[in-house]
Amino acid sequence: MIFARKVWHFLVAIKDGLVLIFMLLFFLALYGVLTARPSAGTLKDGALLLKLNGTVVEEPAVQDPLEGLFSGSSQPKEYRARDLVRAINLAAEDESIKAVVLDLSQFTGGGLVTMQELGAALDKVRAAKKPVLTYAMAYTDDSVMLAAHASEVWVHPLGGAFVTGPGGNRLYYAALLQRYKVNIHVYKVGTYKDYVEPYLRDSASEPSKEARGALLSAVWEEWQADVAKARPKANIKLISTDPAGWLAASKGDAAQAALSAGLVDKLGDEVAFGERVKGIAGADNLSDAPGAYAHNRPEALLAAHSEDDSGEAVAVVTIAGSIVDGKAGPGTAGGARIAKLIDKANTDDAKALVLRVDSPGGSVYASEQIRLATERFKAKGRPVVVSMANVAASGGYWVSTPANRIFAQPGTITGSIGIFAVIPSFERTLADYGVKSDGVKTTALSGQPDVLGGISPEAEKMIQANIENNYGKFLNVVAKSRGKTSEQVDAIAQGRVWDGGTARQNGLVDQFGGLDDALAFAAKSAKLDEWHAEYYGTDANPYASILDRLTGDDDDEQGEPAATDFAGLVAVQQQARLTAALGELHWLGQVRGAQVYCLDCPVPLRVKAKPNSAGWIGNLVSTLSLR
């Protein structure tokens, strides 16, 4: 009885402890709810502070509240590009905003077109005679481009600014897969459809290098032109052609080298920078810390200026991230979810539809779901307009085909009209361990495709025939959309990726312009005198502010900072590269149908690696490496 009583007391103690923990979490969450959302009228005279501790994207991914709560950390922070652009534009007009300040110390980028849109908004602030100041420990390509649009660029004396340009090496896994005797069955159409090459070759093919070289050259020229226009004194040629000599001329002092090349204007730490901003925006009355200045977060400025909802609605649906089957997203374009949003806009009798596309493609089936939903909207005689952001290639172009007009930017990556499927099989791997397959078949297709016993020649031919048929359908929907023949489309298709400027020349894009241009065109086509943009499926995450506080990830809080010097940024990039490499093996092992996906199209890293998520190939490599 004494033992049972002690056990009972122990269990009660555990119960009381759990109750106490959950009560504490509840009150912390309640505090977060009460303090999370800024309300109109809370603006104070000072600066607009954009502390970008993460990536700028078209559509932030939904954060898992349980993962963030119990892991003690949040998923990579993402900022909606449209919100940032609007906040900066408002800063140019709002009298309480004295300056715009960008803290880019932990900024991880966001794509060429997005940087151009943010830069154009910063130019409006400067045109309104308000200063724009940026600070970072180290600037890299995207942050260099943003800083070029600032009136004053600061860098830490131990930091610097570095320009690497687009491109670089990627991993090829053919020898690895052969080592473990994994057969890779590829079914594709398109000379330039190189997404499958890393699984088949040890190096890039000549057509792949040709297309990639042309694309990256165009993107690089666009980047240089933007920076040169915004900051003529920046010596990009010196930095990009002789980086070692450039740094050596300053005796290895990267901050001084950046200053000499015109990339930055001032050297100073966070306190010195803060004191400079304080002289413009005023002191922060809530803090006596050195360098504390009065500032507003973007959320407060947006809340103080509600968007106009008068007139008829022009629906806007965002297609961002990989296009996948099902209801995935936001941040990933689940075909069923996107189609449902378009159908909702159709039911709501929106007068026009604008698709904002920022996707490298994905599932053929999901892409077709989205296309058909758009056709249903268009069937009622209402205009459909596509606005391409950083990338709208492969499946991203498939979903764009119903548009009456396609807008893009010169730096947009598009095209990649091709199709493929990949199936790994493991018969040789298993045979190496003494495992063989046998059985009875009633037809030539019984049990096919068999990824363990081997894929039969009949199944191989049928899959390839289906891929070729789907490629023909892709050509047909593009031909119908662009007023061309299938043969004409095939000549510019074959899986080749194009920059926006070349895509306009070959007829895949109609006009240069951003989202505002697409909205104006859609409203004009619908003959609307008074209208507003109605964004579908972009509600803010109600858990975000709570989790930011619980995990210490609030932008205004000074938690333990990540490494932000050049070595730290390189480490972050290499970690992302390693994660991407593991993701490629993970991708190969997933169950997928035919794909319209682009190899050279960048997508932001959104998902943290989870245990046991390496897929068939990754798990196989992990197991066999114990040999």
Same domain, 115 and 133: yes
Residue 286 CB coordination number (10 Å): 9
Q: Is 119 a domain residue?
A: yes
Same domain, 393 and 371: yes
| pLDDT value at residue 592 | 56
* Torsion sign, CA atoms 233, 239, 245, 251: positive
Q: Say which CATH number the domain at 59 has.
A: 3.90.226.10
| pLDDT value at residue 550 | 46
Q: Is 437 a domain residue?
A: yes
DSSP 8-class letter at 283: B
Buried/exposed code over 313-333 (b: 16+ C-beta within 10 A; e: otherwise): bbbbbbbbbbbbbeebbbbbb
356: closest CA among 368, 372, 370? 370
Q: Is 562 a domain residue?
A: no
Residues annotated catalytic, as ranges: 193, 394
Q: Is 355 a domain residue?
A: yes
What phi-psi label fits residue 446: left (phi over 0), alpha (psi between -120 and 50 degrees) or beta?
Answer: beta
Residues 290, 267: contact at Cβ < 8 Å? no
pLDDT digit string, tens, across residues 89-125:
999 999 999 999 999 999 999 999 999 999 999 999 9
- Which of 186-195, 225-234, 565-574 is most confident? 225-234
Tell me the two tokens of residue 56: 């700028």
How far is the C-alpha of 385 from the C-alpha of 316, rounded, in Å? Answer: 10
Q: Is 90 a domain residue?
A: yes
pLDDT class of 3 with cuts at 50, 70, 90: low
Chain CA centroid to CA 241, Å: 29
| pLDDT value at residue 609 | 37
Same domain, 298 and 445: no
Same domain, 319 and 270: no
Beta bridge pairs of residue 47: 99, 295
Please say which residue of 501, 529, 557 terminates a domain: 529
Q: Is 151 a domain residue?
A: yes
How far is the C-alpha of 289 from the C-alpha of 279, rounded, in Å? Answer: 15
Same domain, 262 and 324: no
Same domain, 321 and 387: yes
pLDDT class of 77 with cuts at 50, 70, 90: confident
Q: Is 8 a domain residue?
A: no
Answer yes or no: is pLDDT of 564 > 70.
no
Positions of E strands within 268-383: 295-296, 312-320, 323-324, 333-334, 352-359, 361-363
The HSE-up count of residue 347 (CA atoms within 13 Å, CB side) is 7
| pLDDT value at residue 586 | 60
Same domain, 238 and 133: yes
DSSP string covering 410-431: TT-EEE---EEEEEEE-HHHHH
Same domain, 388 and 411: yes
pLDDT class of 521 with cuts at 50, 70, 90: very high
Answer yes or no: is pLDDT of 591 > 60.
no
Domain of 521 in residue numbering reads as 312-529
Alpha helices in 233-284 (DSSP H): 236-241, 243-248, 254-260, 270-281
How far is the C-alpha of 548 from the C-alpha of 54, rounded, in Å? Answer: 13
Residues 290, 297: contact at Cβ < 8 Å? no
150: closest CA among 38, 67, 273? 273
- Quick one: average pLDDT of 73-95? 89
Same domain, 254 and 324: no
pLDDT digit string, tens, across residues 12-65:
677 667 767 766 676 666 555 444 444 445 789 999 999 999 999 999 987 655
Same domain, 441 and 295: no
Same domain, 430 and 477: yes
Please say which residue of 304, 323, 352 terminates a domain: 304
Kindly report the average pLDDT of the chain as a whole number: 85
pLDDT digit string, tens, across residues 262-280:
999 999 999 999 999 999 9
Same domain, 386 and 438: yes
Q: Is 552 a domain residue?
A: no
The tokens 């190096």 sit on which residue? Answer: 203
pLDDT class of 559 with cuts at 50, 70, 90: very low
pLDDT digit string, tens, across residues 195-211:
889 989 999 999 999 99
- Total domains in the chain come to 2
pLDDT class of 590 with cuts at 50, 70, 90: low
Please say which residue of 529, 544, 563 terminates a domain: 529
Q: What is the value of pTM for the model shown?
A: 0.84
pLDDT class of 560 with cuts at 50, 70, 90: very low
- Quick one: average pLDDT of 554-560? 48
| pLDDT value at residue 357 | 98
| pLDDT value at residue 288 | 86
| pLDDT value at residue 170 | 86
Residues 360, 580: contact at Cβ < 8 Å? no
